[in-house]
Amino acid sequence: MVFGMLAGFTAAKSDVLLSEDEIAQTLLHGPWPIEYGKDPSNRVSGNLEAIAFGKALFSDPILSRDENMSCASCHDPEYGFSDALPRAVGQKLLDRNTPSLMNLRSHRWFGWAGGTDNIWAQSIDPILNIDEMGHDAESLRSAIAGSTYPQTYGKLFGDISKHAPEDVLVNISKALAAYQETLRTGQTSFDRFRNALEAGDLTTAGTYSDSAQRGLQLFIGRGNCAFCHSGPAFTNGEFHDAGVPYFITETRVDEGRFGGLKAIKQNPFTLAGDYSDDPEKTGAWAVNQVRFQHSDFGTFRVPGLRGATKTAPYMHNGSLKDLAAVVDHYNAINMERLHVDGEAILQPLGLSPQEKNDLIAFLESLSDDGS
């Protein structure tokens, strides 16, 4: 009898602060990880040899014309495959922050402005960009042909000496994509909490800190964060204005999604194009259907929030130095800066210092997977 009461007491002590409705919303942020399967647009997706080849290429300066930088120069594993700089430095200071490459398959559009719709096309961009790696298809083909790679390339794609430069460019990028797809964050204390709630195991759920739970309540509740940072990867995959200034200099703006749409309409490497290996052209509807709208101006893709503790500074221009600065930004959001109609979803939150710490504790609980 006494033991029974004690057991009941222990269960009741298991400190789950959430209401039924909050629990239902929390479950929507998992389960994690998601299994995505192979990318049908990339015939070497999931191929172990291609993954190893892509990994070698990723940190090889041969992909830059002057052999002075590799993908890993900016996408450094130590920082979640970003670079800890506000804005990337290529041959000169670039306009945007280097995003993390974790969990890429959770996105439909790539780059801050969604200028591409698949990972291999996004990997072509830096190779050809004159301010980054500065190759053209011809010079890349010669560099690969003159390296130790032709044998590996040959096993995966065929004889390089018979391939047109554009085909070599695309094949190299598909090997890079096969590798990048494997970069994933693991389960965190948030996931253990979420899974325990799903299983009705309130004792395990109670081990998630009260502070993180209160932060989660703010995230799905008053903060409205989950409106954009939704689902298991904490992004709706779309483009929004989060009140970050879009001026690069006094006279130059970053058009954001508006520019991304211009880029994708001219890009020959989309899911709708001939370089996709998918005969069904799965996913091509998205690029075929996008339309220009004034409201796209100055919007940026909603980042996923898993692994974010490693990828400071934040936002498309790296203007916020840490998660506390991000929380302060949302807390005191400048409504005048919100130029996009209909983004009234963001309001100054008036959080207390305790509430700010709670929100940070919650964000940190999306990153403690030990990766």
Helix (H) or strand (E) holding 230: none
Tell me whether residue 51 or residue 94 sits nearer to ligand HEC (CB atom). 94
Nearest-approach distance from CB 277 to ligand HEC, in angstroms: 18
Nearest-approach distance from CB 43 to ligand HEC, in angstroms: 18
The closest of 357, 329, 330, 304 to 223, measured between CA atoms, is 330
Rounded alpha-carbon distances, angstroms, from residue 25 to 11, 30, 219, 227: 23, 10, 10, 11
Tell me whether residue 44 or residue 104 sits nearer to ligand HEC (CB atom). 104
Nearest-approach distance from CB 101 to ligand HEC, in angstroms: 6
Nearest-approach distance from CB 305 to ligand HEC, in angstroms: 6
* Residues of the shown chain interacting with ligand HEC in the complex, contacts defined by CB under 6 A: 63, 69, 71, 73-75, 88, 90, 94, 96, 98-99, 101, 104, 107, 110-113, 119, 122-123, 126-127, 132-133, 176, 180, 223-225, 227-229, 240, 242, 244, 300, 302-303, 305, 308, 311, 314-316, 323, 326, 330, 343, 345-346, 359, 363
Nearest-approach distance from CB 169 to ligand HEC, in angstroms: 11
Rounded Cα distance, 87 and 82, in Å: 10
Nearest-approach distance from CB 201 to ligand HEC, in angstroms: 27
Tell me whether residue 56 or residue 202 sits nearer to ligand HEC (CB atom). 56
From the centroid of its chain, how far is CA 323? 16
Tell me whether residue 181 or residue 191 sits nearer to ligand HEC (CB atom). 181
List phi, psi (to 5°) of 253.
-115, 155
Tell me whether residue 223 or residue 283 sits nearer to ligand HEC (CB atom). 223
Two tokens, residue 57: 């290429």
- Bridge partners of 240, per DSSP, are 300
Rounded Cα distance, 150 and 207, in Å: 53
Query: Is 120:268 a contact under the CB 8 Å cutoff?
Result: no
Torsion of Cα atoms, 32 then 33 then 35 then 39, to 10°: 120
Q: How long, in residues, is the chain?
A: 371
Tell me whether residue 204 or residue 371 sits nearer to ligand HEC (CB atom). 371
